Amino acid sequence: MARHGAGRGWYGKVVGGALGVTLLAVGASVWTAQADSVGSASPKPSASAAPGGAAEPVDVSIVHASDAGARGVNITIDDGPDPTWTPQVLDLLDEYGVKATFCVTGVQAQTYPDLVKQVVAAGHRLCDHTVSHDTAMDKKPESYQSKEILDAERMIIKASGGVRPLYYRAPGGAFTPYSRGLAASHGMRPLGWNVDTKDFERPGTDAIVETVQRELSNGPTLLFHDAGGDRTQTVEALRRVLPWLKEQGYSFGFPVR
């Protein structure tokens, strides 16, 4: 998984290794953070006391795998919803019978609640992408991280009519052990990516498609955007990528939970 963000791109590989995670307070169940890298071993949960004294294991490792199996891929769409681009993306997904995970920001969800409801009604899943998409939030205090994540969660739930986000994706990959544990304690699995199409840079439709074809061997989770600027290239790339993936024998799923 590489870090991304408009005007702030760095593309280092995430290195595997165990990470200690700060235990969250007041009845939150927290897992030990595990290796993030593609193909890393399955996480080994630890447990903390839940309300009533029961121990409940939870997993804060960043997920990449698909629930569609070895030939499964996860289409993930970030930064929306947007009134121009999200409907076009939804139409394409419907045309090819594909379900996707939409990582929406709190601001956009609050502004366009009807689009969030359309995403849910079409059978797609929601992901918390924070309130304001601050790609430097990993450098900010834990209180700030908490507000960005939990306020976005509330905004998304309200916009969707009560549907909870099932994942948390840090803006630009700016995860911290704290943010991962916090999200997980609210039932949101930290979500990474394997193929960064860099569509937010508008490199050209051909370049986006070629990136998918070249880097798909890195893992099953593909990153696209439906907001943050002109997404004509993204829409056209999806129009080519989705049938190509089917022709290659891939099926479409959701990130494992």
Measured in degrees and rounded to the nearest 5, phi and psi for residue 240 equal -95, -35
Q: Is residue 221 within a helix (H) or strand (E), and if so which, with residue range?
A: strand 221-225
Of 124, 129, 133, 225, which is the active-site residue? 225
Tokens 């997904």 correspond to what residue? 93
Start-to-end C-alpha separation, the chain: 18
What's at 170, amino acid-wise? A
Residues facing 74 on adjacent strands: 221, 253
Instruction: Please state, in angstroms and as integers, the Cα–Cα distance from residue 225 to each residue in 80, 83, 143, 148, following that order.
Output: 7, 13, 28, 20
Q: What is the CA radius of gyration of the chain?
A: 17
Q: What angle do CA 192, 58, 171 make, to 5 degrees?
A: 25
CA dist 257 and 17 (Å) reads 20
Of 36, 59, 78, 138, which is the active-site residue? 78
Residue 59 annotated to the active site: no
Residue 225 annotated to the active site: yes
Q: Which residues are catalytic?
A: 78, 225
